[in-house]
Amino acid sequence: MAIKGLLERFKKGLARTAQLFNIRAWFGRKVDQSFLDDLEARLIQADVGVVATGRIIDRVREAYADKTADENLVAFVKDELKSLLEDPNPGVLAVAAKKPSVYLIAGVNGSGKTTSIAKLAQRLKDQGQSIVLGACDTFRAAAADQLEIWARRAGCEIVRGASRADPASVAHDACQRALARGIDVLIVDTAGRLHTQTHLMRELEKIKSVIQRLIPGAPHEVLLVLDGINGQNAIRQAEVFTKSIGCTGVVLTKLDGTAKGGVVVAVRQTMKLPIKFIGVGEALDDLQPFDADTFVESLFA
Ligand SMILES: Nc1nc2c(ncn2[C@@H]2O[C@H](COP(=O)(O)OP(=O)(O)OP(=O)(O)O)[C@@H](O)[C@H]2O)c(=O)[nH]1
Ligand SMILES: [Mg+2]
């Protein structure tokens, strides 16, 4: 997609956060304590997090004390945000040297895993890749049906087990299928679970170890799906999931439904995990590869 089109989509999805970041209205104001307090309040409201907000405020104070807010100040704040989001490999998923690449998807209930998988499958399919989806959420009968509907829409295969089947056995079958058919990408859906449910975290570890055993080097990405509306609780989830299954990246969803898009910064800062994609709506093309420049520009557009 052309850069301009991408920016438009981002802007639409992040419109609520962008309202908070509209500091152009303050042009001409003196950068004094009351200005800094206002800026700080907006950053906190947008869920940028205390640490990152503190850093931005300190830097603005150093550079702009007693000057007048203008376009340069906006550029300065943008650069600060971009540097907090820096990622050498934005929005890129690791690819296996030998097929298939396996992406394991996890997260708490309702965070947007299955929808994000559908969007990701569509994306990879559009790039000419063959896809198998592994429906390892056998906890709810409707879960595999939901994935199957998406699979049909995106035109990819799905491997599912009986209701209440061991999710690791479904992962096993999905790996076998992907290997046997020479598929490019296997995406594994898992049931939502709270990071506090130890037995369910063990189940996730078992799914991962089955994948590792069948496909050396896999999973090539372990993506944690976080609900952007959840804000700071996401950080705790990320810690526990990472400890359990070694997350390699984050998909941050529902950024269209909240004015707290700044959580992208907090997540990146606190967890040291790259944000791979962001979800900005419920349609199939509402998953965007995360790029700090485009993201920050859209907040100020
Ligand atoms: N607005 C918006 N809604 C989203 C986004 N991503 C997911 N959703 C919605 O969030 C709800 C839950 O999405 P699912 O994909 O079923 O979530 P899940 O993590 O698979 O849920 P469980 O399997 O029950 O744990 C659905 O109504 C989705 O349409 C997004 O980026 N924006
Ligand atoms: Mg699901």
Q: What is the DSSP string of the chain?
A: --HHHHHHHHHHHTHHHHHHT-GGGGTT-B-SHHHHHHHHHHHHHTT--HHHHHHHHHHHHHHHTTSB--HHHHHHHHHHHHHHT--SSTT-----SSSPEEEEEE-STTSSHHHHHHHHHHHHHHTT--EEEEE---SSHHHHHHHHHHHHHHT-EEEE--TT--HHHHHHHHHHHHHHHT-SEEEEE-----TT-HHHHHHHHHHHHHHHHHSTT--SEEEEEEEGGGTTHHHHHHHHHHHHH---EEEEE-GGG-S-TTHHHHHHHHH---EEEEE-SSSTT-EEE--HHHHHHHHH-
* Domains with residue ranges and CATH for the chain: 3-84 (1.20.120.140), 101-290 (3.40.50.300)
pLDDT for 213 equals 98
Q: Which ligand is nearest to the CA of 113?
A: 1
> How far is Cα 288 from Cα 226, in angstroms, rounded to an integer?
15
Residue owning the nearest CA to atom 17 of ligand 1: 112
Nearest to 156 by CA among 176, 132, 126: 132
For residue 143, the ligand 1 atom closest to its alpha carbon is 23
* Position 189 pLDDT exceeds 80: yes
Angle of helix 198-214 relative to helix 233-245, nearest 10 degrees?
50
* Phi, psi (deg, nearest 5) at residue 145: -60, -45
Residue owning the nearest CA to atom 21 of ligand 1: 110
* Position 6 pLDDT exceeds 70: no
Residue given tokens 């009351």 in the structure block: 34
**At 140, is the pLDDT very low, low, confident or very high (cuts 50, 70, 90)?**
confident
CA of 180 relative to ligand 1 center, distance in Å: 31
- Answer with the residue of higher pLDDT: 55 or 283: 55
Residue owning the nearest CA to atom 30 of ligand 1: 254
- Answer with the residue of higher pLDDT: 260 or 41: 41
The model's pLDDT over 217-256, given as tens digits with 9 standing for 90+, comes to 999 999 999 998 876 678 888 889 999 999 999 999 998 8
Residue owning the nearest CA to atom 8 of ligand 1: 112
* Phi, psi (deg, nearest 5) at residue 208: -65, -40
For residue 110, the ligand 1 atom closest to its alpha carbon is 21
pLDDT for 109 equals 93
Please give the angle made by the CA atoms of 223, 224 and 227, to the nearest 5 degrees. 135
Residue given tokens 């959580």 in the structure block: 263
pLDDT for 19 equals 84
**At 259, is the pLDDT very low, low, confident or very high (cuts 50, 70, 90)?**
confident
pLDDT for 232 equals 65
Q: Left (φ > 0), alpha (ψ -120 to 50) or beta: where does 288 sit?
A: beta
Bridge-based pairing of strands 185-189 and 101-106 is parallel
Q: Encoding tokens for residue 148?
A: 């199957």
Q: Encoding tokens for residue 224?
A: 């944690």
* Phi, psi (deg, nearest 5) at residue 276: -85, -45
What is the best residue among 138, 160, 282 to mutate for testing ligand 1's pocket, by most ligand atoms within 8 Å of CB? 282
For residue 192, the ligand 1 atom closest to its alpha carbon is 25
106: which strand partners? 224
Q: Which residues line ligand 1 (CB under 6 A)?
A: 107, 109-115, 137, 143, 191-192, 225, 253-254, 256-257, 279-282, 286
Contact present, 246 and 220 (Cβ < 8 Å): no
159: which strand partners? 134
CA of 143 relative to ligand 2 center, distance in Å: 6
The model's pLDDT over 65-101, given as tens digits with 9 standing for 90+, comes to 999 999 999 999 999 999 999 888 888 999 999 999 9
250: which strand partners? 224, 275
Q: Encoding tokens for residue 263?
A: 């959580």
Bridge-based pairing of strands 287-289 and 275-279 is antiparallel
For residue 253, the ligand 1 atom closest to its alpha carbon is 31
What is the best residue among 111, 115, 117 to mutate for testing ligand 1's pocket, by most ligand atoms within 8 Å of CB? 115
The model's pLDDT over 289-301, given as tens digits with 9 standing for 90+, comes to 999 998 898 888 7
Q: Encoding tokens for residue 135?
A: 């429906």
Q: Encoding tokens for residue 101?
A: 């690449």
